[in-house]
Amino acid sequence: MHESLADRRRDTVQRCTDAAKSAGKRLLFGMTTSLALQSVPIPDDCDLDTAQLHTVSSSGDRRTRLADPSITAHIWQPLVQYPDANVRINQHVYALDLFHTWAQLAHHLTMESLIMLGDAIITAIIRQPKLAQGRDAETIRRELMGFADALPRFRGKRNCQTASLLIRAGVDSPTETRERLSLLKHGLPEMVLNHVVSGSTFRSGAAMTLDMAWPEYRVAVEYDGDHHRTNKAQWRRDQEKRDRLRSRGWLIFIATGATLADAGARAELAFHVARALMTRGAEFPFRVLEAPIESVAREARKRAKRQ
């Protein structure tokens, strides 16, 4: 993104506040506007105009129609059953609850982006104590998994039910979700996210964690975004961690924007990680070509039934 989540939120709050004052009433915003108001990354492939402000109402007779062409009004019927599904931003502006926002956007996103959004929403909630209300990330994930089933029929419900099978807690960024899904599409087994390595700490005493790990085999994948390259302190911290863990037998692979750039690059990284896992005893059917994400979801459903 060219602007930070904080900048986007500040700009969106101001625009929404101005719109509400112009309308002379409080307004509830949903869709991508709700994401911006609650500091959640907006998926790049969303088919909505993200420059628009999106209001939401429970029915047509409650819809707020404004003359401003930059504002689009939507109906979200589950609000009839869940009238309190909103978050107060200020005295003029309310945002649709993030679970409802996720469901509302289901038919505007690809399956992969719907999964990425689910991951991002869990992260956003856990970072805001008022929203988390004492729940941990895994509890929030389980609640999101059951959320779509509990809602009355809506467009995109089946997509939500499928996506929920692959949503995970503890994901730091959408690019990490994309890397995780790529590895799963190549047949690699489920990994542990943000794995805390037992008995390994930094000089400061802080625990060492790995973005994606298979602890039984001491194999891990770390995702390095731009800040890992430009922030010297972060780079040194990463090097200290990786050097120490490699000296203790860990095989650590580095994923970047380049390794996600195309199918060939993703397959190459997946092959190297798969080979490392297999040399250490893991058994699984590696796929040279990525499987459809729906197939990966079906496999996840089968595993859940067996457990």
User: pTM for the whole thing?
Assistant: 0.90
What phi, psi does 73 have (nearest 5°)? Answer: -100, 140
Distance CA 161, CA 118 (A): 11
Domain extent at residue 186 = 174-306
Helix (H, G, I), strand (E, B) or coil at 124: helix
Within 24-173, residue ranges assigned H as helices are: 31-37, 98-104, 111-126, 129-132, 137-150, 157-163
Domain's final residue, options 115, 131, 166: 166
21 and 44 inside one domain: yes
Q: Is 120 helix (H, G, I), strand (E, B) or coil?
A: helix
Q: Are residues 190 and 161 in the same domain?
A: no
Q: How many domains does the chain have?
A: 2
Q: Hey, what's the torsion of the CAs at 273, 257, 230, 168, to 10 degrees?
A: -70
- 211 and 162 co-located in one domain: no
Q: Are residues 104 and 212 in the same domain?
A: no
**Whether residue 199 sits in one domain with residue 111:** no
CATH label of the domain that carries residue 191: 3.40.960.10
207 and 66 inside one domain: no
Tens digits of pLDDT across the chain (307 residues): 346 899 999 999 999 999 999 999 999 999 999 999 999 999 999 999 999 999 999 887 777 777 788 999 999 999 999 999 999 999 999 999 999 999 999 999 999 999 999 999 999 999 988 888 999 999 999 999 999 889 888 889 999 999 999 999 989 889 999 999 999 999 999 999 999 998 888 888 788 899 999 999 999 999 987 655 556 777 888 888 998 999 999 999 999 989 999 999 999 999 999 999 999 999 999 999 999 999 999 988 888 777 6
